[in-house]
Structure 1
Amino acid sequence: MIGIWHALVDQPRMKLQFKIEKKGSYTLDAVMEPLPAPLTFTNVAVEGNHIRGTGQVFWNPGDELVAELDFQEDSFTGHVYIPSFGTIPLQGSRGRGPYMALSLINEVAPYRKGLVIERCDNEIQEAIDQLLAKMSLEEKVGQMCQCQASNFSFGSEIVSDPPEKLVAEGRAGSVLGAFDITRVFELQKIAVEQSPHGIPLLFNADVIHGSQTIFPIPLAWSCSWDMEAIKEACAIAAKEASASGTVYNHAPMIDVSRDARWGRVSEGAGEDPYLGSLIAKAQVEGYQGDSLFSEETLIACLKHFIAYGAAEAGRDYNSVDIAEPTLRNVYLPPFISALESGAASVMNAFNIYQGVPVAANKYLLKELLREQLGFEGVLISDYGSVDEIRIHGYAKDEKEAALKAVQATMDIEMVTRSYEALPELVREGKLSEQQIDDAVRRILYLKYKSGLMDDPFRYVRPEKEMEYHFSKEHLQASLELARKSIVLLKNDGVLPLVKDAGTIALIGPFADCKDLLGPWQFTRYGHETVSLYEGMTEKGFAEERLLVARGSGVNEPLEGGIEAAVAQARKADIVVLALGESSEMSGEAASRMDIVLPESQQRLAEAVAATGKPIVLVLTNGRPLVLDWFEQHVSAIVETWFLGSQAGHAIADVLMGDHNPSGKLTMSFPARIGQVPVYYNHFNTGRPLLEANKHQKYISKYLDGPNEPLYPFGFGLSYTSFAYSKVKLDRSRMRAGETILASVEVTNTGTAAGEEIVQLYIQDCCGSIVRPVKELKGFRKVSLAVGESLEVTFNITAEELTFWTPDIGYTAEPGQFKALIGASSRHLQEAAEFELLD
């Protein structure tokens, strides 16, 4: 019974795939198609050819899942009980089974227009003018409304007509969450054949870190500092998603994140606006490619504008209270970079700014985004955020919420139906029809630009789904980025593991687990995720040399689990302790008050550490964690985040030394929870903590712990070592338009070839407003053989010295600066000073 099995079901139409493995005990994983719904069976019992599994469904953890399967040589029978579906009888056979949308290939062919010529902007605007002239006010407003593809909800239940009715009546211009290509085809047919003007739909989805081939979560891939690899990941995601009919991506998330309690740090690039700006650019270029007209690209939507990452107490959807210089200098730069890269859409943040919800904030959306930054694209509300204007207390009812959102130039309302009041508001004279026309014009522009108006079915490509989804080439790209995303936080010499070093015990809830994909992914191949155990066995470890014990669940103890784990640890020469968070513990609506490993895992770690065996901690998680106990009690710490479809292979490659880790942190890891938010580019206080005054009382410090994080921004170890020379400047003064060259010599002083990310920081010593103690302003990735040296040079111009000040705006102020170069924000060579002259 070992292997992949499938069963086709008529009512409801679906395919179930099961993957059964045996590593000491049996495991059972499954997925449902067309829904990207993983089914995880945590308790599996086998008797002869009968397997019984129980677990919980991810969308409602309180509902029990049960499978009873009886196997013959190449077939099986049985049933599965899935809450909301009931008991489903099964009869299946080996393998993945037939491609579900195979029949759609012939069905969609007559609807395709064939060769479509890209229109220029003048042609598009002329066509839009002609179409607007034919549309009633209600039909125009319909383009500004978005509906869901099904009854599934990401929040409170939405009161709405069925999507078929909304689309047929022209009351929806876009659809969210049509995960099945057949569903895309069904709804697009209704739009084209039944809606008043046959205007095709935009199909929207959240493709955050992969479509079917899953890549590392964005916080992980940011640690690669590899813009080309990130760009490639986004391009592959676009290729896979667009083949299934998705046109409009609700990504990238480019919020700067300084508070690890906030679950959505997993979706972003960490705490630094400079690095975040480069990654934002790479993601937009990856998703949108060279032209939105290509059916293998996605419309990129920048989220969340703006300052969502500054939510108070790290609690999702909470208020934000920051000064405008912080808004401009910290949270805005990634958006500026992404807009300059041509991002076609922007999504509002859920928070308030200066007392006004962003969805209705004219200063942020109309004045800053559109007028000052020149954004001409589509502004879409986040899920339900138009209606939330009322809940915030900024509008008395849904009608007033709709009024204020349109006044702030919000083009599309996601899912809720407040915009249905817009025609009445126009007739009452509270809105002009021109305001409606402006919004609809922007929406229709994207439909023409993407080619949908000329060929509504050009993105429905089942034959390309078969070619692209989970392809060998895409899996290889995922593996390569996963390797680069791993950060080595500690190593006393136990790593890399020697292949003939003896017996290894894999212990922990992530030792043999497929929950390595992280939040915000909707793959139908989750059961084929490579586990750590599988990755290690691929390295040639025999079963008797690779001992496995869960020890505990992620959040709960297992009866006898610790005892079994300790027994395995005692038989081993080295313990690999695989701990972390489940996917549901990070991402949206997954804020945590105490960012430590759950108590059940901590107790397991303490019991295993008491055996005295060398321990390698392998972390699976979506945020920085407090690791002070582990820093003191284990031999090595490997931060792997959620690495995606090839996670187990990537981790094994690093553990065994087949890949030398080079990742560097993009978020600081606090030493204690009380430090949060903690970040490297903070301001000095009037009483800063220094080595000379650390014993004084009236200093900005804690009584019971350090000010500094345990692991700072930019930190990451290698299996080799690098030495830095002093920082050299080719000149000590410059004027605007001139350049200073800052350089160091970097030498590989270790015993292995390796890659180092050399980082440039600049301190503005005195400004018209207080400036950060240091800011990242450049980096270079260098590969060095053993004993090899290389001079690494950075250009410093006025651009690197520019910031926003309330009195002047963006400026580089004359004065003294310091250039610092090194291996992290903490490990820097002595600063070299220079001056910017008037």
Structure 2
Amino acid sequence: MIKRLYILVIVQMVCTLGFTQSSLSLPAYKDSSLSIDIRLSDLLSRMTLEEKVGQLLCPLGWEMYEIKGNEVYPSGKFKQLVKERNAGMLWATYRADPWTKKTLSSGLNPELAAKAGNALQKYVMENTRLGIPMFLAEEAPHGHMAIGTTVFPTGIGMAASWSPELIKEVGQVIAKEVRSQGGHISYGPVLDLTRDPRWSRVEETFGEDPVLSGVLGAAMVEGLGGGDLSQKYATIATLKHFLAYAVPEGGQNGNYTSVGIRDLHQNFLPPFHKAIDAGALSVMTSYNSIDGIPCTSNHYLLTQLLRNEWKFRGFVVSDLYSIEGIHESHFVAPTKEKAAISAVMAGVDVDLGGDAYTNLWHAVQTGQMDKAVIDTAVCRVLRMKFEMGLFEHPYVEPKVAEKIVRSKEHISLARKMAQASITLLKNENSILPLNKKINKVAVIGPNADNRYNMLGDYTAPQEDSNVKTVLDGIIAKLSPSRVEYVKGCAIRDTAVNEIKQAVDVARCAEVVIAVVGGSSARDFKTSYKETGAAVAEQGSISDMECGEGFDRATLSLLGRQQELLEALKQTGKPLIVVYIEGRPLEKNWASEYADALLTAYYPGQEGGNAIADVLFGDYNPAGRLPISVPRSVGQIPVYYNKKAPHNHDYVEMSASPIYTFGYGMSYTTFEYSDLQIVQKGPYCFEVSFNVKNTGKYDGEEVAQLYIRHKYASVVQPMRQLKHFKRFPLRKGEEKSIIFTLAEEDLCIINQDVERTVEAGVFQIMIGSSPDDIRLNGLFSVE
């Protein structure tokens, strides 16, 4: 009887724990029928302190594989890394650029990338004590930064579309290309709110406005997976960079940021909050400090706010070597070990690239910190691995990756995104669109036929056939016999002088298209030493004047570009100027003397075709500026939603930007009418109005709603974007647009740094930009 009771108790215990007969032979953490909480607890109980610390390391990944013929194997360096550090994550395994010294011939195409990921996973699954799969984190701000992937416009270009729908589609493509090759974490979107175009990374951002950045950032996150890691192609979206990284003193990358706590809550934090609500499961810290606290050791931001207030459930990763920076750059920690302790205690879970967290084992052993802090960080990382199903499905199919990555559908979306981003700033006498029957077009300028200057930073090397330049696009519209091209000059190198040849060609043409601007292209043709330093070649200066670390003191065109434009103007031929740029360069001369002026940002691999589509009327431009264009660096910061009082003009010039946030032209015209404001609840107002296409072309309008709290307890912006919508209208068509103002739209950050709605009168301003308001109205909040 006792024996039978004993057996019954055992059976009951097994059933209570949820084990099946088959699972009795498996450790609980490997049993997919169990809950993640049970599996996570079991795995954590089996791990040594060294193994736990290893899961918090994310070393550089591009030296971790070896290509032999058509197969890929773990490198000796990878095996040593796994043995000595138990690393649970790698960064930029598939990355190719001059820094990694991976080229089209030595790097990974999509099929080989998938094989590399499989080989690394297989090694850790079969050759480590617990067989914990690895996370592979990849740069993906405007496409996966790997060979053979689809390259979209950079962030500032995508933001110019003002289209969350398109950006969500882009996110879906990026996620699909990352996951099909065996990656799991996508670094992006970049939600840094930028007000200083001197800063080198403006191109990566969504611009100067918190609402636009938040809506577009949330759309990208939804496309990347939206937080549901059980989806086949979902990635862990990593938001960059936390926080206020894009407004450094002097425009110097990583420099000290001077910004008030109320400004942080009103402007810089909301885009991140919205993207986290959309499902972002990773946040990257930034290099800068705020009010003397390095962001990588800021407990208030990373724990009190992110975890306790926002209930963020993902993990925080440092930027590359930013933990070391607490010691070596900010000088607030006397040793690298102290820097690591301050970072992990503040809430940084993963150490990107460096080895600072290898000190955590010693810190726990010597009583400088509790191992519970390590356990908490490890659980955040491992939970994501369980949610993604990596323990059951660590491998991908290489042939599928080869088929999916940069498919025809993805290339088509790249063109569509580039079209939507192009912003028309001037069109004197409706010179655009050009007639395709034109006899001769002169295409001039350093960015007219430069493939890498179309792409922006964080881009892998490309096959020439993959990138369409402006010259390519125009020839495709006309024919080679009707197009003459001369480079004219370089972006920076004053030794390149073909201005006379450019003028000669321009004189024989009916219209001149000058393509100027900047470059974030890292030179793939340069030779590099083993250290990664470039071998300078006589008479060659890189075009690069933008991209991470390339901050500017001025915003004028470099090299002989201004000289080239003025010489072309002297020919008397109609002059169309196109800026390919990563930051809003100064456009005073072009604004006055060009017959038409466009900015295309860095438009990606299909940018040349998209620009030609706009120039010749196959696409009616509807891009809107996501960041204001200054008249002079002396105005900086110059952004549309500054707080009261009104600006007054300088002695030398107007205080306003030459082109403000939200501005952009179309080939057609739009009329606004019939504003209605109806209260639907205590803090809810429905705003409706009509928009009619009154011009000669079908087109798209971007309706924008701004509000201003007339009198509040703290100083408010003179105007603040709250809602926007991009929509098509055929010529003669009229549509009714409805926006709903909710409580969050009416909130301010009061004197106690609390988010609240205050009673008062609000002004509503509706139009096609904050400087082109067509409808005004008032409503009151009791």
Structures share a fold, TM > 0.5?
Answer: yes
- Which one of 602, 605, 621 corresponds to residue 562 of structure 2? 602
Distance 1:525 1:241 in 2: 19
TM-score, normalised via structure 2 length: 0.86
Cα distance in 1 for residues equivalent to 2:433 and 2:753: 53
Match of 2:721 in 1: 776
CA distance in 2, matches of 1:199, 1:724: 59
- How far the C-alpha of 1:278 sits from its partner, in A, is 0.6
Q: Is 1:164–1:187's contact at 8 Å kept on the other side of the alignment?
A: no
Q: Secondary structure in 2 aligned to 1:375?
A: coil
Distance of aligned partners of 1:600 and 1:234 in 2 relative to their CA distance in 1, 3 Å threshold: same
Q: Deviations over 1:307-359 (max 9, x none)?
A: 11221122111111111110001001111111111211111111112211111
State how far apart, in whole Å, the 1-side matches of 2:201 and 2:574 are.
Answer: 34
Deviation, structure 1 residue 803: 2.1
C-alpha contact 2:688 2:738 (8 A) present in aligned 1: yes
Contact 2:181 2:398 survives alignment (8 Å): yes
* Greater percentage in strand: 1
Match of 1:639 in 2: 599
Structure-2 separation of matches of 1:274 and 1:560: 44
The C-alpha deviation readout for 1:377-399, integer Å capped at 9, x for no partner, is 11111100111010211100001
Contact residue 32 and residue 392 of structure 2 kept, 8 A: no
| Cα distance, 1:614–1:345 mapped onto 2, change above 3 Å | same
1:478 maps onto 2:414 in alignment:
yes
**Which of 576, 589, 593 is residue 553 of structure 2 equivalent to?**
593
Instruction: Give TM-score, length-normalised by structure 1.
Output: 0.80
* Structure 1 residue 343 corresponds to structure 2 residue 276: no
Is residue 632 of structure 2 the alignment partner of residue 672 of structure 1?
yes
- Measured after TM superposition, the shift of residue 293 of structure 1 is 2.4
Alignment of 1:324-723 (within 5 A): 324-391=261-328, 392-457=330-395, 460-492=396-428, 493-515=430-452, 516-522=454-460, 524-525=462-463, 527-539=465-477, 541-557=478-494, 559-584=496-521, 585-685=545-645, 688-689=646-647, 700-723=648-671
Matched residues in 2 for 1:627 and 1:118: separation? 62
Q: Distance in 1 between matches of 2:275 and 2:184?
A: 19
Q: Structure 1 residues 523, 475: closer, same or farther in 2, change over 3 A? A: farther
Runs of 5+ consecutive residues of structure 2 not aligned to the other structure: 1-28, 65-75, 95-107, 522-544
Q: For 1:523 and 1:217, how far apart are their aligned partners in 2?
A: 16
Contact 1:384/1:414, CA 8 A, preserved across alignment:
yes
SS in 1 for 2:246: helix
Report the Cα distance in structure 2 between the residues aligned to 1:359 and 1:317, rounded to whole angstroms: 12
State the distance in 1 between where 2:658 and 2:441 align. Answer: 28
Structure 1 gap ranges (5+): 1-115, 153-160, 690-699
Aligned equivalents of 1:609, 1:223: Cα separation in 2: 28
Tell me the CA shift for residue 559 of structure 1: 4.9
Change (3 A) 1:339 1:709: same
One-letter code aligned to 2:222: E
Q: Deviations over 1:16-74 (max 9, x none)?
A: xxxxxxxxxxxxxxxxxxxxxxxxxxxxxxxxxxxxxxxxxxxxxxxxxxxxxxxxxxx
Q: CA RMSD in A?
A: 2.0
CA offset digits 1:709-749 (Å, max 9, x no partner):
11111110000111223644346xx8624x33333332222
Match of 1:205 in 2: 138
The equivalences for 1:255-274 within 5 A come to 255-274=192-211
Q: Distance in 1 between matches of 2:674 and 2:629?
A: 28
- Could you tell me how far apart the structure 1 residues matched to 2:387 and 2:736 are? 46
Deviation at 1:783, TM superposition (A): 2.2
* Cα separation, partners in 2 of 1:456 and 1:830, compared to 1, 3 Å: closer
**8 Å Cα contact 2:136-2:183 kept in structure 1:** yes
CA contact (8 A) 2:54 2:88 kept: yes
* Mapped contact 2:673–2:775 kept (Cα < 8 A): no
| Counterpart position of 2:4 | none
Equivalent residue, structure 2, for 1:816: 761
Tell me if structure 2 keeps the 8 A contact 1:735–1:836: no
Offset, 1:250: 1.4
Cα distance in structure 1, aligned partners of 2:727 and 2:119? 51
> Is the contact made by 2:622 and 2:700 (CA closer than 8 Å) also made in structure 1?
yes
Residue 287 (structure 1) shift: 0.8
Contact 2:490 2:559 survives alignment (8 Å):
no
Matched residue, 1:788: 733
Aligned length: 695
1:757 corresponds, among 702, 706, 725, to 702
Larger RCO, structure (CA 8 Å, separation 6 or more): 2
Please tell me whether the aligned partners of residues 505 and 547 of structure 1 are also in contact (alpha carbons under 8 angstroms): yes
Deviation by residue 1:759-786 (Cα, 9 ceiling, x = unmatched):
1100011111100001001112232222
Give the Cα–Cα distance (whole angstroms) in 2 for the partners of residues 290 and 356 of structure 1: 30
Match of 1:736 in 2: 682
Change (3 A) 1:119 1:198: closer
2:242 is aligned, of 305, 329, 335, to 305
Are the equivalent residues in 2 in contact too, given 1:170–1:191 (CA < 8 A)? no
Percent of aligned positions with the same letter in both sequences? 35
Residue deviations 1:393-452 (CA, integer Å, cap 9, x gap): 110000100110111121110111111111111122221111111111111111111111
